[in-house]
Amino acid sequence: MPPKYIVTGVIALVLISADYLCGSVGSVEIPMAHKFCKCFNNTNDIELVKCQCVHSELEKIPNDLPTPLHVLMIAKAAIENLTKDSFKNYKKSLTDISLRDLKNLAYIENGIFDEMDQLLTIVIRTAPNLKVISPTLFNVYLPKLKIL
């Protein structure tokens, strides 16, 4: 296949998944949530709660988001460290984690993804200070995971 088509395909996939993560079609906004986050609940049969937290003052993953939480998107936030506790309230339910434009993110603790049996995707994009990802970070049994 010529590279042009591969690139187009990749862009299409990215757009589809961006739409999936950000879209609010067929869902209703959950009132309250966190001051830096918006959360949505699916209105059709599939149970799906997703939250997007996009704020430059956000310093850690909020621990008071609605549960069970399935899709979490964090972007343009001031988070420096992700520790084992960062996703603690959502470990059993999270299927998709997207971390984008986290210019301060420098450290991800080993074991952070332990016991997240439902995880399908982890996207980490544009984290210029994240220099070292420990080789054992992903050395964990995640039966469903596909790393993008």
Would you say 48 and 31 are in contact if contact means Cβ atoms under 8 Å apart? no
Binding residues for ligand NAG (CB under 6 A): 30, 41, 49, 66, 80-81, 107
CB-nearer residue toward ligand NAG: 62 or 66: 66
* Least separation in angstroms between CB 147 and ligand NAG: 24
Angle at alpha carbon of residue 148, lines to 72 and 44, rounded to 5°: 45
Residues in the chain: 148
First to last CA, the chain: 21
* Least separation in angstroms between CB 130 and ligand NAG: 12
- As beta bridge partners, residue 40 has 29, 50
* Least separation in angstroms between CB 57 and ligand NAG: 13
Would you say 73 and 51 are in contact if contact means Cβ atoms under 8 Å apart? yes
* Least separation in angstroms between CB 49 and ligand NAG: 5
Q: How does strand 27-29 pair with strand 37-42?
A: antiparallel
CB-nearer residue toward ligand NAG: 52 or 145: 52
| Separation of alpha carbons 10 and 6, rounded Å | 6
CB-nearer residue toward ligand NAG: 107 or 138: 107
CB-nearer residue toward ligand NAG: 9 or 23: 23
